[in-house]
Structure 1
């Protein structure tokens, strides 16, 4: 399969007549495409012990399934995206420890929960935000010993990496939403 036909297949998989569904599908596939690079980012920016990051691939099928689920039920597909993100964040907090700053990924999960639902579906976004808040308040500091304990210097690098990743994902979601607003005739 040529790169061009692969790209066309990915675009077709993400496509949907409902722009909010297409947005959720795009976000999910961007996350999927970035997950294989996370161990490399860890190696380059944190240190050589990247084995705990392999646990995070457990969430890849959830993100990859968002467009397929959306074809069956648009609400379920859009709900799956932030729920997969929350689950991935919880798994990451256990793998790396909360000192890694990985819980910051709950922020884009909340944002996604608010922006991929219509005003008539606002209760879903509020429930997702509430779940993210509960996960943070109830589990922060209660994950037990991480899979691997990093040095204070490595954790400082981890926080920088995760803050940059969260900022990038949040900005990407913002750009997608700005595009939706512009399509609706907003200025």
Structure 2
């Protein structure tokens, strides 16, 4: 019978770019459960609607496991999952809440997570994130939850701070990483 689990000793070490991707996925995962609580605490409203933000959790959770099998797929998955999660949250809360600012983090991930020979993945994902942003601005209609203008101002402040924090973390996490080096296993990805 095939071994079901790979021990840490048997698993190959992740390359620096993929390790950075996995770290960001874990940071997002660890913060996601607190977001509905922040929304509820700060606005006193929308707890049920903000619980919808947890729907993306399994997709972020899949990224660290995907990284062991295909580093490139994991590095593609993080901005794709982040983009679709941001689109959904923008539909939940509306653009005025600032949730669409998370598209900036997705673009930054695309800019930093690929090697020179992965240029077409980078260009395609950049176009994808931007297209989804445009759809979020002009094509998704009214938000699923109606917020007061005071609550929207609070959410905009919360999301602006959260996005700035995430962007700073992404920049620090990727600082000094070699983007042109690759492991032989990456060539097969």
TM-score by length of 1: 0.85
Residue 153 of structure 1, aligned match among 132, 150, 154? 150
Q: CA deviation at 1:122?
A: 2.1
- Partner residue in 1 for 2:88: 91
- Partner residue in 2 for 1:122: 119
- Partner residue in 2 for 1:77: 74
What pairs up with 1:96-175 in 2 under 5 angstroms? 96-175=93-172
Higher helix share: 1
Higher relative contact order (CA 8 A, sep 6+): 2
- Superposed CA deviations along residues 91-141 of structure 1, whole A, max 9, x for unmatched, are 101111111111100001010011111111122122111111111223313
Judged with a 3 Å threshold, the aligned counterparts in structure 2 of structure 1 residues 23 and 159 are, in CA distance, closer, same or farther, namely same
C-alpha distance in 2 between matches for 1:80 and 1:16: 19
Number of residue pairs the alignment of both structures matches = 170
TM-score by length of 2: 0.84
Q: CA deviation at 1:78?
A: 0.8
Q: Does 1:50 align with 2:33?
A: no
Unmatched 5+ residue regions in structure 1? 1-10
Mapped contact 1:114–1:122 kept (Cα < 8 A): no
Mapped contact 1:31–1:63 kept (Cα < 8 A): yes
Q: CA deviation at 1:40?
A: 1.3
C-alpha distance in 1 between matches for 2:101 and 2:119: 23
Mapped contact 2:106–2:129 kept (Cα < 8 A): yes
Q: CA deviation at 1:44?
A: 2.3
Stretches of 4+ aligned residues off by more than 6 angstroms: none
Higher Cα Rg, which structure: 2
C-alpha distance in 1 between matches for 2:149 and 2:13: 45
- Partner residue in 2 for 1:63: 60
